[in-house]
Structure 1
Amino acid sequence: MDIWSYYAKNRLALLGVFLGLSAVVFGQHQKSLKPAIYMGLEAGLSSGDSTPFWLRAKDYGQYPDAPHFVQAYLDIQQDYDSLFQKNSALKPFSLGYGAQALIQQSDQTRLIMPEAFIKLRYKHWELYGGRRKEMFGLADTTHTSGSYIWSGNALPMPKIQIHTPNYVALGKKGRISFNAGLSHGWFGKDSVMQGHLLHQKWLYGRIGQPNAKVQITVGINHQVMWGGYSEILEAGEKYTLDGKLAPYPLYSYQYILLPFLQKFVPPDQTKVPGYDGGLAIGNQLGSVDLSFLFKGENTVWLLYKQQPYDFARSLYNLNNIEDGLHGLRVSFINGQLLQNITGEFFYSKSQGRYRFGKLQDSNYGEIDNYFFHGQYQSWSYQNQILGTPFILFEGQNQRRFNNRLKYCYLSLKGNLKPKLTYVLKQVYSQNFGTYSRSIDLSQYSGSLQLRYKSGASNLFSAQFMMDSGTLYDQNIGLSLSWQRRLY
């Protein structure tokens, strides 16, 4: 089934209702607000058989695998009118919405809606429903190679989410603040599963006021793929109950919301599959993140670490402490030619079995098999990994083949002229497959993007890309785009 058929049969009517209601609400109560409307055209070609890595990575599923394409899009964004009133008091209530429609021609014709949502804000909290572009984890969100757990690599899925868009201060001085959220999503029919669900929650705390020279942030996010039905797994009583992974969803949800409850109150084996009762209900994973920010006189330094987990014991035993995303960003406040440098190192070879080369007996031979699960196969949506784009799997059968790897990444951003900016991205990776299936392949991927702003409404962009190595085919690509703000 192509993506357009998926939307037409399942979500398009609902999203149309969302946007229709938002138009009515805004027409009645916020007539003075004007949405930002953009249109754009883009074309790309490459020398290989597929799209270069840096065009399809972190692209929210918008670009095809085919080497040549043309596409056009329309983007409408209505943000909140203002978070504050004239007396600087926070407004208690506001509405917004967004939608993007994209038509694409490559080896097939596709109509995609990467975004279609309506959002409601009450004081510091926001509730939204629909599809929305997001990422999770502490990192340089603009120039990172990809957040470990949720990098914007796949098409956004339909969700309902309540969260704090910004950090909320505790106390009048605001020296301690928090950011938190809870969401529920729908995978639909995807891979070997159908009708399975997404659960997300996170809590981050920050020490330091927003304008403080030193800020320390630490937190955790918890992601769960759960429920659903599988004909393939139906025959295996250990993995499902008559093909269902959560035949009593409200009963199972308590173990999703409170994952440690399973250690104290074992699940009823007549209500959950034996596989889930012995390990965890659904595919539960996430990351623990830490960042340190320092504001100097002319520079801003951000140091961060994303620590993955698949088994909780790997966290408290520190078995996979060397795994994860390690990053450093330096921003130059008055920089022109060079405004931002981001360097990252990612490592996932340990997986709790080895710690700095030493075998860890405390895992009893089990490993944090990142992004792979015995029932749900891979941490993916619409055939795209939800997390870092560097972990790969084998297409439709969803069995991963590369989650043990390490890479070094460098990004530079600056101005060549007042209206001409550049972004240079380079990454070199060594890929070792999995513990059960080893490979030894190296890869370099580079990208140079030039953006020129003409007047107040037009933005032109050219991106040059290259793949060289043994993981992907040799490839050189070019993408040209034009965007105009209509309103």
Structure 2
Amino acid sequence: MRLLYLLIFISLGIGAPLQAQLSKPFKQFSYDLEAGAAFATETQTPFWLRSNQYGMVPQANPFVTLRVNPHRDYRTDSTRRSAFDWAAGAFFVVNRTFGTSQGGTTLLWPEVYAKLKWKQIELSAGRQREVIGLGDSTLSSGFYAWSGNAMPFPKIQLQTHGFISLGFLKHILAFQGAYAHGWFTASYINQAYFHQKQFYVRFGKPHWPLRLYAGINHQVQWGGHADYLKNSPAAVNGSLPTTFQDYLSLVTGRYPDDYSNDRFNSFDGANRIGNHLGSYDLGIEWKTTKFQVFLYHQHPYEDASGLAWQNRPDGLTGLRWLRKSSSTHPLFLKHIVLEYLTTTNQSGEQYSTASKYQGADNYFN
């Protein structure tokens, strides 16, 4: 099907001239303003224009959009930098669609957050656009476990600010980690919670041409209640388990002590509390004076079979080539990303409770 598409965006960054007119603390903020419009011969916006946009691009068109982004980032001036610093920001989007049954005005806020940093330890709260995993975040088709296709939801997160190298190991080994608790805002289930943690290591000093990366991320959807769950075998009187004991079970990924009780039935008792998913991530980086190459793989898991690599070769494999120099030539090539995604194994097509690894993973379902 032929599709003609016109996309027009105007972006404006407002810096020092406006800051001079503002009083504290607002003069520490920068302001970005963006306006755009889209028109097409079909009423549905092309998929790749909506992909990795955090739900900000309407599915229907034509549409006009206005985006406002006030933000205060961490200081980068080393002469004024202290152990403590803070950052905050918001990203507001107003979309107006025309000519369809889905027409109307929508206000979105994919980002509203505040962050406090002490040295390389950061505490944040609110909504933020994030990409979690090893890979290229700019040209990727989307990371497996946590990409940018949905509107962010609020969470509180304690994390490292980048990799922290270990001085007693002569900075050969570095680590990065995060631990978060969030709240789902979808209306089809009330008071549902979110647990997330990640841990990554890097082998190699910052100036070494070759460095290795490895890590894991873990996400759990848990808790909540809904009327449609009252007659469901997955819940007890429409509610899913939400006690602190249940929280400890899902954080560690262990089976609960009871197969069923007054809080949950055999659905959670046999499958661990909550809906778990994540990925193992592996990467190797090679740097020269002229370019950088990064090879990465994200291996998915939803249960023990994925953790034991029974679903290989499923996952996202990518290769990034990045030129360090710049040029004004119109045919200058600076950045290339090649990716391959396969999800056809899924630990086998048959589900068997008699097997050590049950199979039929059915990712994200």
TM range (shorter): 0.7 to 0.9
Distance 1:65 1:363 in 2: 43
Which residue is equivalent to 2:323?
Answer: 332
Distance 1:147 1:165 in 2: 20
Provide closer, same or farther for how the CA distance between residues 59 and 363 of structure 1 changes in structure 2, counting only shifts above 3 A: farther
Distance 1:169 1:297 in 2: 23
Distance 1:32 1:277 in 2: 51
1:377-392 matches, cutoff 5 A: none
2:144 counterpart of 1:137: no
2:361 counterpart of 1:368: yes
Which residue is equivalent to 1:188?
Answer: 185
Contact 1:33 1:81 in 2 (8 A): no
Contact 1:285 1:311 in 2 (8 A): yes
Which residue is equivalent to 1:320?
Answer: 311
Distance 1:83 1:229 in 2: 49
Could you report, residue by residue, the CA deviation over 1:18-55 in whole angstroms, capped at 9, with x for unpaired residues?
Answer: xxxxxxxxx87xx6962110111100112222111111
Offset of residue 354 of structure 1: 6.2
Higher relative contact order (CA 8 A, sep 6+): 1
Q: 2:60 aligns with which of 60, 66, 72?
A: 66
Which residue is equivalent to 1:353?
Answer: 348
Q: 2:288 aligns with which of 288, 291, 296?
A: 296
**Secondary structure at 1:195's aligned position in 2?**
coil
Could you report, residue by residue, the CA deviation over 1:210-230 in whole angstroms, capped at 9, with x for unpaired residues?
Answer: 232111110000000000002
Offset of residue 101 of structure 1: 1.4
Offset of residue 274 of structure 1: 1.9
Please identify runs of 4+ aligned residues in structure 1 that moved more than 3 A. 82-86, 265-268, 361-366
- Which runs of 5 or more residues in structure 1 are unaligned? 1-26, 373-487
Offset of residue 81 of structure 1: 2.0
The aligned amino acid for 1:177 is A
Distance 1:352 1:83 in 2: 51
Which residue is equivalent to 1:378?
Answer: none
Contact 2:305 2:311 in 1 (8 A): no
Which residue is equivalent to 1:171?
Answer: 167
Distance 1:95 1:39 in 2: 23
Offset of residue 135 of structure 1: 1.0
The aligned amino acid for 1:256 is L
Provide closer, same or farther for how the CA distance between residues 354 and 272 of structure 1 changes in structure 2, counting only shifts above 3 A: closer
2:273 counterpart of 1:281: yes
Which residue is equivalent to 1:310?
Answer: 302
Could you report, residue by residue, the CA deviation over 1:339-360 in whole angstroms, capped at 9, with x for unpaired residues?
Answer: 01100000001111069xxx9x
Contact 1:189 1:195 in 2 (8 A): no
Which residue is equivalent to 2:243?
Answer: 249
Q: What is the RMSD of the two structures over their aligned residues, measured on CA atoms?
A: 2.3
Distance 1:283 1:125 in 2: 29
Distance 1:34 1:371 in 2: 42
Contact 1:185 1:199 in 2 (8 A): yes
Q: TM-score of the superposition, structure 2-length normalised?
A: 0.85
Distance 1:353 1:93 in 2: 51
Identity of aligned residues (%): 34
Q: 1:38 aligns with which of 11, 29, 32?
A: 32
Which residue is equivalent to 1:482?
Answer: none
Provide closer, same or farther for how the CA distance between residues 291 and 325 of structure 1 changes in structure 2, counting only shifts above 3 A: same
The aligned amino acid for 1:287 is S
Which residue is equivalent to 1:217?
Answer: 213
**Secondary structure at 1:188's aligned position in 2?**
coil
The aligned amino acid for 2:318 is G
**Secondary structure at 1:371's aligned position in 2?**
coil
The aligned amino acid for 1:158 is P
**Secondary structure at 1:137's aligned position in 2?**
coil
The aligned amino acid for 2:335 is N
Which residue is equivalent to 1:103?
Answer: 94
Distance 2:40 2:26 in 1: 46
Q: TM-score of the superposition, structure 1-length normalised?
A: 0.65
Distance 2:278 2:180 in 1: 14
- Normalized per residue, the structure richer in strand is 1
Offset of residue 269 of structure 1: 2.5
1:401-440 matches, cutoff 5 A: none
**Secondary structure at 2:124's aligned position in 1?**
strand
Contact 1:319 1:354 in 2 (8 A): no
Distance 1:364 1:235 in 2: 29
- Which runs of 5 or more residues in structure 2 are unaligned? 1-22, 98-102
Aligned residues, how many?
332
Contact 2:290 2:325 in 1 (8 A): yes
Which residue is equivalent to 1:208?
Answer: 204
Contact 2:87 2:116 in 1 (8 A): yes
Which residue is equivalent to 2:222?
Answer: 226
